[in-house]
Amino acid sequence: MSDFQEIQDKITLHWGEMGNKWGINKTMAQVHALLFISEDPLSAEQIMGELQISRGNVSMSLRELINWGVVYKMHVKGERKEYFTTEKDAWQFFKIISRERKKREIDPTIAVLRDVISDLEAANEPESVYARQQIDSLLELVEIGDNLYDVIENLNSANLTRLVKQVLEFSQRRKTRAEG
């Protein structure tokens, strides 16, 4: 086994483990990792061979990754097979995943929290007051995250990198002052 093959296995296996922890199918995460580190688009057969997984597993993973918007079909001149690639810019990939998670998790949570607040206002019971305060604070936090997502979504990769570095530097300065 070549050094590169060992490195490729290391990242695809780890990405699969992390995907599993993030609630993403392990194989789907491994397929994404393989496509991310591959300079050229890969066919389903190549993915099967590299990851030693079944055609069905590759097809299902590719379909879901395409649905998430992180994998794209590519046509290679002179080839009849379909080839696949992924977003190569890490920040763009992050933004795509954030957009999907927002749509699937954050937007429904905001809707439910707003409904619960409305229900608590109508309940007019003593325990409703405290519950309402708690749900209000939770909604505020989730909406701040939602607004932060909107800021991130509208920045290009260079500006996003610069913003994150500035926030980290600010945080480090505060930490240093607090320790000193």
Pairwise CA distance, residues 119 & 131, whole Å:
11
Q: Which of 39, 69, 86 is the last residue of a domain?
A: 86
Do 104 and 58 fall into the same domain? no
Beta-ladder partners of 73:
84
Q: Which residue has the tokens 């795509």?
A: 96
Confidence of residue 76 (pLDDT cuts 50, 70, 90): confident
Do 82 and 107 fall into the same domain? no
Is the distance from CB of 155 to CB of 143 less than 8 angstroms? Answer: no
What proportion of the chain, given as a percentage, has pLDDT over 70? 99
Pairwise CA distance, residues 14 & 30, whole Å:
8
Domain with 127, as residue range(s), is 90-179
pLDDT tens string 108-159: 999 999 999 999 989 888 888 999 999 999 999 999 999 999 998 999 989 9
pLDDT tens string 79-96: 889 999 999 998 888 898
pTM, full prediction: 0.77
Per-residue DSSP letters for 79-110? --S-EEEE---HHHHHHHHHHHHIIIIIHHHH
Count the domains in the chain: 2
Residue 47 pLDDT > 90: yes
Do 150 and 122 fall into the same domain? yes
Do 72 and 96 fall into the same domain? no
Alpha helices per DSSP H over the chain: 3-21, 26-37, 44-51, 55-68, 90-101, 107-123, 126-153, 157-179
Pairwise CA distance, residues 114 & 128, whole Å:
14
The overall average pLDDT reported for the chain is: 92
Burial of 11 (0-12, 13-18, 19+ CB in 10 A): middle
Q: Which helix (H) or strand (E) holds 42?
A: strand 42-43
Q: Which of 86, 120, 141 is the last residue of a domain?
A: 86
Residue 20 pLDDT > 90: no
Q: Which of 69, 86, 103 is the last residue of a domain?
A: 86
Do 12 and 73 fall into the same domain? yes
Q: What pLDDT sits at residue 135?
A: 96
pLDDT tens string 92-122: 888 988 898 899 899 999 999 999 999 998 9
Q: What pLDDT sits at residue 1?
A: 67
Q: What pLDDT sits at residue 5?
A: 87
Do 76 and 94 fall into the same domain? no
Q: What pLDDT sits at residue 97?
A: 87
